[in-house]
Amino acid sequence: MLEKRIVVCLDVRDGKTTKGIKFKGNVDIGDPVEMAREYYRQGVDELVFYDITASAEGRGIMIDVVRKVAREIFIPFCVGGGIANVDDMRSVLLAGAEKISVNSQAVKNPEIISQGARLFGNQCIVLGMDAKADPAMPSGYRVVINGGRTDTELDALQWALRAEELGAGEIVLNSIDTDGMREGYELNITRMISEKVSVPVVASGGGGTAQHLADVLTKGKADAALIASMVHFGDYTVGSIKDSLAGQNIPVRLTW
C-alpha cells in the first residue's frame, strides 16, 4: 500500500498565516516563512500555501512570500490563490513551487486546467475544491468558490470527474461544513470522490485529532490529509500524528 501523506496548509492573508472557521472569523497566527521552516523540520510530507483573498480581491498571488517559503523547505510545495492563467502558473513554479492549485478560476475557466497540464504536466496541476452539503445536487454536495462566498451550479462529484478529464493530477477536497471545526473530516464526500476518480484525493477541513486523520485515510479512502489548526495551535506535531497513524498500521513516512 502506498504511504499516506500528511500535508500542512498555510492560509495566508496580507503576508501572515491566518486561520478561521468555515472561512470566517480569521485571526493572524504567525509568519508563513517561519512556520514552513518548522513544519519541514517536523517531517511534514508536503506544504500547501493558499493566498486566501487573492481571487476575491482580483489580484495576483504574493509571489515574494512564495519565494521566501520555497527557500526554506525541500519537500513538495503547492501554491494556490489568484492563479488566473498559465503565466501566473509559470511565475509560481519559477518561484519554487512544485504544484499549482486552481479553485475559483478553474470553475470560471475550466480550460486553465488543461492548459496548465499541457505546459507543465498533470502532476503540477491540483484542483482545489470547496464543497458543501446540498440535497438539491445529484451527489448531495455543491461546489462553492471565492473562499466559500459564492455558490455555483456545479455538483461536487461531477466537477471532480470533469477536472480529472481536463488533466488535474490531484484533488484537494475541502468541506465547507467541517472547515476549521476540528470535529473530523467529511467522510461521505471524501469517500465518494476518492472511489470515483483515479487521481490522488487530499482530504481537507475538520482535522482536530490524529484519529480524525486515521478515519479519513481509511474510511474516507483519501490518499492524504491536510491539516492546519491542530498543528498551528500546538496540540500536535507532525511527528506525533504520524506515530499515531503508524500505530494503527496506516503506512506513513516516519523519516525523511
Catalytic residues: 11, 130
Sign of CA dihedral 218, 224, 229, 232: positive
DSSP lists the bridge partners of residue 11 as 50
Nearest CA among 12, 63, 54, 14 for reference residue 35: 12
DSSP lists the bridge partners of residue 5 as 224
Residue entry with cell 475538520: 206
Question: Alpha-carbon distance 18 to 79, whole Å?
Answer: 15
67-102 burial, b at 16+ Cβ within 10 Å, e below that, comes to bbbbebbebbbbbbbbbbeeebbebbbebbbbbbbb
DSSP lists the bridge partners of residue 173 as 129, 203
SS3 label, residue 22: coil
Nearest CA among 92, 112, 4 for reference residue 48: 92
SS3 label, residue 175: strand
**Inter-residue contact 238 to 42 (CB < 8 Å):** yes
Nearest CA among 50, 45, 46 for reference residue 32: 50
